[in-house]
Structure 1
Amino acid sequence: MAQRLVRYADLVPCRTAFIDTRTPGSTEKENFTIIGAGVSESADQFVHITEPHGFNVGAARQPEGCVNSQHSHETAEVFVVHSGHWRLIFGPNREDGTLDIAPGDVCSVPTRMFRGFEKLDEGVGFLWVVLGQDDPGKVTWAPAVFESAADFGLKLTKGGTLIDTSDGDYTLREAELEAPLSEDDLAQLRTPPLEKLAECMVRFADVAANPASPLAAPGVEEAGLIVPEATADGFAPGPISGWWPHGFNLRLLTLQTGAYVPRHSRREVEVIFVHSGTLEVSWDHGEILMGAGDTLTVPVGLPHALRNTASVPCVAYVVRGGEDVARPLFESGAAA
C-alpha cells in the first residue's frame, strides 16, 4: 500500500515536459505524472505509479503569472484546484474567453478545443488533473506555440518527442517533425460558447451532497461532481456530465471530525486525493494517514475503512473508474 501512496512532499516535478518549456512566461511551471503514462513530451518526466487505471492522474504547479500554453486534448482533462487562483483561457490565440477557478473548484474542459491556464495570485498554486483513458494521446499545440518554441531551439516529432536543437541534440533529426495545424484543422477545434462551457465547471461553494449515497452517514457526505450517467450507487447525471466521454466519475467526500466509513470494497478503481484535513485509510494489518495534497490508489476489491481522526473536516476528491459506479460492498455487519 505504501507503493500506492504518493505524498505531496514526494512529488517529482519535470520542468522540461512540453515544447513551451522555454517560452517566456512558461519557464517556471512544474508538471507531474502521478498515475499512468501522461502526455509529457520529455524523457525526463518521472512517473510515480505506472499501473493502468483506465485514466491518468497528473498535476501542475506554477507561481504567479506562469502560463501553460494553448493546447488541445483528445481525451477528458479535468482540473481540481488544490491551491491558488487560476484563469482558464480558451481559443488557439487566447481569443475565445476565460473562466476563473479557485481552491476546491472543478472544471472539465471538453476534448478537441484549445485551452491554456495561468496562475493569477501570489505564491505557488497546485492543480490536480485527471486525464481520460490509459493512453490519453499526445497534446495538440496551437500554431503560435510552435513559433515561440522554435525561437528557443525546441522541436517536436510527430510521435510527440521533444528535440532540443540548441543543445546539439540531433539524434532524432531524421524523424518527421510535427507541423503546426492547417486552417482547416484549426476550424475543427472550435471553442463552444462560454455559456456552454459553464456547464463544465462546479464551484466548491455550490457542491451539493447526495443523501442517497451509500457512504452517507452522520458526519459523512458524498457529492457527485462528474457523473456522466446514472450510476448503480444512486447518483444522477451531473452536475458535470459532458457531451464527450470521461470514462470515470469524480466525487467529493467530506468527513467531519471522528466520522467513519465502515470497511467496504469496490468493484472499480478508486483514487483518493486529500484536498484539506487528514484521512486515515485502514485495512487488514495496516493503515495510512493521508494529508493535504496526498494521492492514494486503492486496490480493487480491498476491504478498507475511512476515518477523520483530526479536529478539522477532511475534504477529499475521489475518482472511480467507469461511467457507471457499482454500490460498495460493505462487510457483514457494517452499515450500508
Structure 2
Amino acid sequence: MSQTVLTPEEMEQRIVRYGDLVPCKTAFIDAHTPGSDQKENFTIIGGGVSESPDQHVHIKETPGFNIGAAGQPPRCFNSLHTHRSAEVFFVLKGRWRFFWGRHGGAGDVVLEEGDLINIPTNLFRGFENVGTDYGMIMSILGGDDAGGGVIWAPEVIQKAADHGLILAETGRLYDSKQGEQLPEGVRPMPLMTDAELAEINEAPVGVVVTKLIARYQDMMALAKQRPANVLSADGLITDRPGFSVDFINHHTPLDDYNTDKHEILMVMRGHWRLGWAGGEVVLAPGDVCAVPPDMKRTLAASMTCEASLFRVRNTDDPAGYTNWNAL
C-alpha cells in the first residue's frame, strides 16, 4: 500500500483553525426573522447547506460528508427544518436546547459542552442557545452535497417573506430589501404539502434521550483505554448516516496507525499533537483537520491535562439512511 506523504505546509492547508473561521450572517431564509437574525453560519468542509452566495467555504473537497458550525448569541434560535441526510451536532461552547416535531413541540433536550446529538432524517428540528454567552455548535451532515439542502417548515418560509427574503426553487436566497428578485423563469421554493407534512416523524422524548444522544462525561469514561465508538452500526448511537464518529481523550494516544478512510479530527478540549512522516502540527480547541487516507500518523494530547476530540470517518453506508424502526 502506497503511503500519502505531506509537508507541514500541505497539512496546514488541510486544517481550519477556530480563530480563522469566517462567518456568514445571511446563510439561511430566517436571517431577517426576529429571534433568528443574529445567527452566524460556518462552512468548514464541503459546500454545506447555506442558501447564500456570500457563504465562505474553507475546504471545498468533501470526504463523503460535510463539516460546519453555527454560532449564536443567547436566546437566538434556528428555525424548524429537516434534511434528507443525518445531521449530527456536538456542543463546542455554551449550553444549547434542541427541539423537534412538526411545530417544535414534540420534545426538547438541553445539551452541555461536549455532548453530541444525532438528528435523523424526516424530523423537523431547531436549536437555541440557552447559555449566557455566545455559543458554538459543530455539525456533521451526511453526503457530499449535504443531502441536497435544507427543507424548511412552511411557516418559516412564509414568515421570511414578511421580512423580505425569498428562497428560490434552486435553493438560492434572494433579498428583496436589497433590490433582489427571482430571475425570470425561476419559481419560489414550493411549500411542503399536507401529505408530505403528515409523513414527518415526531420522535418521542424518550427515544431522543436514550437513543440519539451521547453525553460528554459518558464518552470520557468509555475512552480511558481505547477510542469510544459513538456513532456507527454498533456504537453508543446505532445509526449509519454515511459516516462514523469516535471519541478520543488524553487516556488513549494512538501510535503509528493508518486507515484507508478519510479522517476528520475535531478538537473539543486541550491541545493535540498530530505527527506523520513529513512533520508535526498542534491542534487546539475548535480546530478541524482533514487527514487524508493511507497516511501513517500518531495522535496524542500534548499536555497531561484533560483533552478530547471527535474523529469522523466516511463509511460505505448511504448518506440518507435512518432505520426508524430500530430507534
The share of aligned pairs that are identical, in percent, is 38
Question: Is 1:221 matched with 2:226?
Answer: yes
Q: Residues 133-152 of structure 1 correspond to what in structure 2 (within 5 A)?
A: 133-136=143-146, 137-152=148-163
Q: Residues 1-336 of structure 1 correspond to what in structure 2 (within 5 A)?
A: 1-136=11-146, 137-170=148-181, 172-198=183-209, 199-207=211-219, 221-228=226-233, 237-242=234-239, 245-256=240-251, 260-322=253-315
Distance 2:93 2:181 in 1: 39
The change in CA–CA distance for 1:205 and 1:311 in structure 2 (over 3 A counts) is closer
Which runs of 5 or more structure 2 residues have no equivalent in the other structure?
1-10, 318-327
Distance 2:179 2:13 in 1: 38
How far did residue 173 of structure 1 move? Answer: 4.7
SS at match of 1:195: helix
SS at match of 2:281: strand
Distance 2:119 2:182 in 1: 36
Q: Is the 8 A contact 1:71 1:92 kept in 2?
A: no
Distance 2:316 2:42 in 1: 25
SS at match of 1:163: strand
How far did residue 171 of structure 1 move? Answer: 5.5
The TM-score with structure 2 as length reference comes to 0.89
SS at match of 2:312: strand
Distance 1:185 1:260 in 2: 47
SS at match of 2:126: strand
Q: Deviations over 1:105-135 (max 9, x none)?
A: 1100010110000000110111010000111
How far did residue 208 of structure 1 move? Answer: 6.5
Distance 1:260 1:155 in 2: 49
Distance 1:276 1:39 in 2: 27
Distance 1:171 1:202 in 2: 43
Distance 2:103 2:182 in 1: 32
Distance 1:32 1:121 in 2: 20
Distance 1:159 1:241 in 2: 34
Q: Report the more deviating stretch, 265-274 or 86-95.
A: 86-95
How far did residue 274 of structure 1 move? Answer: 0.8
SS at match of 1:149: helix
Q: Which amino acid aligns with 1:97?
A: G
Aligned length: 305
Work out which structure has the larger RCO, using CA pairs closer than 8 Å and 6 or more positions apart in sequence: 2
Q: Deviations over 1:125-152 (max 9, x none)?
A: 1101000011121111011101210111
Q: Is the 8 A contact 1:220 1:261 kept in 2?
A: no
The change in CA–CA distance for 1:46 and 1:277 in structure 2 (over 3 A counts) is same
Q: Which amino acid aligns with 2:273?
A: E
Q: Which amino acid aligns with 1:160?
A: G
Q: Which amino acid aligns with 2:311?
A: V
How far did residue 313 of structure 1 move? Answer: 2.3
Aligned CA-pair RMSD: 1.7
Which runs of 5 or more structure 1 residues have no equivalent in the other structure?
212-218, 229-236, 325-336
